[in-house]
């Protein structure tokens, strides 16, 4: 029987540590400032944005939400971001995705100055990650960074381990692969063209499931004693399911994240961490 990794508790611990840092930053001049821009009324986005706001306020961060109607023009949105880029009290800018079809997401992401891109999606930040520039200011994407923090806080050794990632998205699969590589794991990335997925996951010490298909990874695909990180959030018949079949996988895994309560809370904690990092970079 595996140990369930409590992402909610680990995220809470990180937030409390950040709260202490923010107290010190306030004494130096001001709290970190995070601005979230949301276009339209997507219910899932509204829930997620509300969770971000709650987390930011809980730790003493200055958090603001700018809501715009779905018919906002691309130019208007880009002008708004430009204003936030030039606002000295804003350390982090996050544009909640998805955006309406008439707005090009790539253009919007690239319009955020890299040193305020606390979501870690700007090409300069991803480029610094993929080229291994640890000495330069960079923000790692929040979900991949949250996965690494989970492993570290649980005392799970990464160096020399075989890590298999199921999913090759720019948001999770590719960046988490590079973060694991930086920590000297031997990394395999699997995808829809992988010939024998079970063979790849079965030999992994660490499995990261980030493919977006409910319960695709079953217990017989997990090596005895492996660590399983489930990134998937799939709503099926009103129930949230991960990409891993939890009940069977937990019989083989030594440690496993649940859905919900695993990676999700860590994503928000890492957004807070990146914003504090940005505030330190920008100074008073």
Task: Tell me which of 6, 91, 96, 250 is the catalytic residue.
Answer: 96
Query: 253 with 39: CB under 8 angstroms?
Result: no
The C-alpha atoms of residue 129 and residue 120 are separated, in whole angstroms, by 10
How many whole angstroms separate alpha carbon 118 and alpha carbon 162? 29
Reduced to 3 states (helix: H, G, I; strand: E, B; else coil), residue 94 is strand
Round to whole Å and give the CA distance between 237 and 47: 19
Does the annotation mark 96 as catalytic? yes
Q: CA 21, 24, 27: angle at the middle one, nearest 5?
A: 155
**Is 9 tagged catalytic?**
no
Is-contact 10 149, C-beta < 8 A? Answer: yes
Distance from C-alpha of 276 to C-alpha of 122, rounded to nearest angstrom: 18
Active site residue 133: no
Q: What angle do CA 33, 37, 42 make, to 5 degrees?
A: 135
152 token code pair: 């570290």
Catalytic residue among 52, 116, 223, 250: 52
Render 138-165 in DSSP notation, one character per residue: ----HHHHHHHHHHHHTT---TT-EEEE
- Cα–Cα distance measured from residue 226 to residue 206, given in angstroms and rounded to the nearest whole number: 6
Token representation of residue 162: 């075989």
Among 119, 205, 230, 243, which one carries the catalytic annotation?
119
For residue 15, the surrounding DSSP H or E stretch is helix 7-28
Report, as residue numbers or ranges, the catalytic residues.
Answer: 52, 96, 119
């Amino acid at each position: 029987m595996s140990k369930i990794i409590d992402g909610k508790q680990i995220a809470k611990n990180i937030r409390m540590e950040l709260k202490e840092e923010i107290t010190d930053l306030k004494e130096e001049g001001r709290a970190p400032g995070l601005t979230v821009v949301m276009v339209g009324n997507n219910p899932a986005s509204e829930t997620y944005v509300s969770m971000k706001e709650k987390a930011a306020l809980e730790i003493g961060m200055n958090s603001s939400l700018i809501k715009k109607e779905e018919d906002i023009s691309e130019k208007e949105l880009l002008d708004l971001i430009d204003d936030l880029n030039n606002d000295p009290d804003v350390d982090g800018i996050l544009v909640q995705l998805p955006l309406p079809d008439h707005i090009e997401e790539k253009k919007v992401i690239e319009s955020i100055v890299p040193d305020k891109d606390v979501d870690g999606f700007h090409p300069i930040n991803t480029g610094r990650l993929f080229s291994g520039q640890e000495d330069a200011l960079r923000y790692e994407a929040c979900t991949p960074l949250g996965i690494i923090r989970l492993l570290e806080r649980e005392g799970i050794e990464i160096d020399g381990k075989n890590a298999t990632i199921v999913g090759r998205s720019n948001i999770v699969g590719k960046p988490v692969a590079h973060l694991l590589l930086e920590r000297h794991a031997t990394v395999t990335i699997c995808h829809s063209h992988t010939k024998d997925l079970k063979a790849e996951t079965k030999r992994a010490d660490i499995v990261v499931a980030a493919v977006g298909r409910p319960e695709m990874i079953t217990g017989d695909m997990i090596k005895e004693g492996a660590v399983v990180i489930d990134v998937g959030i799939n709503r099926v018949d009103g129930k949230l399911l991960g990409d891993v079949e939890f009940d069977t996988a937990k019989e083989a895994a030594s440690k496993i994240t649940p859905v919900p309560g695993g990676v999700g809370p860590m994503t928000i904690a890492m957004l807070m961490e990146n914003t504090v990092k940005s505030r330190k970079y920008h100074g008073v």
